Amino acid sequence: MNTAETLRQRIESDQAVVGIIGLGYVGLPLAHAFHEGGLKILGFDIDQSKIDALKVGRNYLKHLGGEMTTALSKSSRFSATTDFKRLAECDAIIICVPTPLGKHQEPDISYIVNSAHDIGRTLRRGQLICLESTTYPGTTRDDMVPAMLEAMPAGSPKLVSGTDYFVAFSPEREDPGRKTHNTKTTPKLVGGLDAVSSELASLLYKKGVQNVVTVSSAEVAEAAKVLENTFRAVNIALVNELKLILTPMGIDVWEVIEAAATKPFGFMPFYPGPGLGGHCIPIDPFYLTWKAKEVGKSTHFIELAGQINTSMPHYVVDRMVAALNQDSKPMRGSKVLVCGLAYKPNIDDTRETPAAEIIELLADLGAQVSYHDPHVPNFPPMRKHKIEMKSVDLTPAVVKGFDCVVIVTDHAAVDYKVIADSAKLVVDTRNALKGMHNRGARVVKA
């Protein structure tokens, strides 16, 4: 029996051990999905606090709820560790690590390379390696595999991809806070470096995902993921630019979008905001832009969208300055409440949140800034921002004490009537006060 057939039988009989590197927003839900599918899971993370939390069933990702980690902690088919030598125990290894941008907006795939080194140190015949981290086309074949092989101990037997071990890319499609889809119900793209790897990876993912879509190569799967997020980034930039145009005309961009959305074909509504947040949309298009330079192409359209989206926090602050001026108040010394720190509604995820940049811009202008977020009680340390701040209560008395309230994230748990009734001035970037413009506060849309 050849290596591929042995692995195929182990997967089909639920004997395969699946190792997942990175137990964050992508890796933890994936571990749960595979566990529900009947497989044994071994989780890996460099953060000991996550390992400790999982041992007692405590979920450090609030939007996932507590049932997931409780089930994993009680199961004999799940364990988590910081000991990457145990990767040797795994039949399949899935990499779910961050892919941020560097200081000059260049791709930083160091987390992928480091994970590949960890895998290479114990790589053996019969293992399937899948990368899920969003990245530019070619990363799996040209960066991850060489990194694995260069880390193999001296004197190790030569292993051939597609014969001795197998490699595929399957992009993560997590959307924290979404209720309509989860890891199990979201269709999964899978593309291998060869036909056998594609088949084995697809077979594995079918254990945890209802609908697996196999594509012709890892590069197609990588490019599809970048396209998904670039599509969103470009369309968000379009409505953000429309907002800049329509606002001086006295036209409500949200009403315009709602009107256009009544067309049952040929239109998909996107909504403006104070800037992009999360780990995907603000970052992934720049991966494609960087890779395009390798083949001598410029991505003018994508770069323009990036410029528009990254300028939105500055636009919001400019609108606040102008609104305060109408009240004969300078920004310096004004008390400003930022409502919403998370990058999207109803979760505690602050990755790349535009709220952090808005807070720093306001502080640079001399404003006295506070924030309220029911999901984020303390301002967490971020890659670009380190601010010592705690969420304040949202009561009529508190709101009345601020010169301006800016709504950055429209959480459902926020009582917007308190803001509409008690605030002096509201700068609303999310249309959260729709229908409440005559309750006392002066409302400026931004």
Q: Give the pLDDT of residue 102.
A: 85
User: How many CB atoms within 10 Å of residue 100?
Assistant: 15
233 located within any domain: no
* Domains of the chain: total: 2
40 located within any domain: yes
Q: Which residues contact 438 (CB under 8 A, 6 or more apart)?
A: none
44 located within any domain: yes
In order along its 446 residues, the chain shows pLDDT tens digits of 799 999 999 999 999 999 999 999 999 999 999 999 999 999 999 999 999 999 999 988 888 877 889 989 999 999 999 999 999 999 999 999 999 988 888 899 999 999 999 999 999 999 999 999 999 999 999 999 999 999 999 989 999 999 999 999 999 998 888 888 899 999 999 999 999 999 999 999 999 999 999 999 999 999 999 999 999 999 999 999 999 999 999 999 999 999 999 999 999 999 999 999 888 888 888 899 999 998 899 999 999 999 999 999 999 999 999 999 999 999 999 999 999 999 999 999 999 999 999 999 999 999 999 999 999 999 988 777 778 899 999 999 999 999 999 999 999 999 999 999 999 999 999 999 998 877 888 999 99
Rounded Cα–Cα distance for residues 371 and 387 (Å): 11
Same domain, 184 and 254: no
CATH number, domain with residue 33: 3.40.50.720
Rounded Cα–Cα distance for residues 6 and 433 (Å): 60
Same domain, 197 and 256: no
List 94's β-bridge partners, or say none: 20, 130
295 located within any domain: yes
Same domain, 280 and 396: yes
From 197, 215, 233, the end of a domain falls on: 215
User: How many CB atoms within 10 Å of residue 36?
Assistant: 15
Q: Which domain holds residue 391?
A: 247-445
Rounded Cα–Cα distance for residues 123 and 121 (Å): 6
Q: Give the pLDDT of residue 284.
A: 86
Q: Give the pLDDT of residue 332.
A: 97
Alpha helices in 66-170 (DSSP H): 67-73, 110-120, 139, 145-150
Same domain, 277 and 186: no
User: How many CB atoms within 10 Å of residue 173?
Assistant: 18
From 171, 200, 215, the end of a domain falls on: 215
Same domain, 259 and 306: yes
- 93 neighbors 130 (Cβ within 8 angstroms): yes
Location of structure tokens 């720093």: 360
333 located within any domain: yes
CA distances from 290 to 53, 116, 144, 230, 296 (A): 38, 22, 18, 13, 10
Q: Give the pLDDT of residue 286.
A: 87
Sheet holding 40-44, edge to edge: 78-81, 40-44, 17-21, 92-95, 128-131, 166-169, 188-192, 212-214
Q: Which pair of tokens denotes residue 106?
A: 């260049």
Record the pTM.
0.92
- 394 neighbors 378 (Cβ within 8 angstroms): no
- 27 neighbors 174 (Cβ within 8 angstroms): no
From 175, 200, 215, the end of a domain falls on: 215
317 located within any domain: yes
349-382 per-residue burial string, b: 16 or more CB within 10 A, e: under 16: bbbbbbbbbbbbbbeebebebbbbbbbbeebbee
Q: Give the pLDDT of residue 282.
A: 84
Same domain, 173 and 267: no
Half-sphere exposure at residue 312, Cβ-oriented, CA atoms within 13 angstroms: 31
Q: Which pair of tokens denotes residue 154?
A: 């001296």
Q: Give the pLDDT of residue 78.
A: 96
Same domain, 153 and 292: no
Same domain, 136 and 262: no
Find, among 306, 347, 280, the residue nearest to 98 by Cα. 280
List 372's β-bridge partners, or say none: 339
Catalytic residue among 90, 96, 280, 339: 280
Question: CA Rg, the chain, in Å?
Answer: 24
Greatest C-alpha distance within the chain: 82
- 235 neighbors 276 (Cβ within 8 angstroms): no
Half-sphere exposure at residue 298, Cβ-oriented, CA atoms within 13 angstroms: 4
Q: Which residues contact 177 (CB under 8 A, 6 or more apart)?
A: 63, 344, 345, 346, 347, 349
DSSP letter for each residue of 32-79: HHHHHTT-EEEEE-S-HHHHHHHHTT--SSGGG-SHHHHHHHT-TTEE
Q: State the amino acid at position 86 in one-letter form.
A: R
Phi, psi for 140 (deg, rounded to 5) = -60, -50
Q: Is 280 a catalytic residue?
A: yes
31 located within any domain: yes
Same domain, 192 and 258: no
List 42's β-bridge partners, or say none: 19, 79
Same domain, 312 and 177: no
236 located within any domain: no
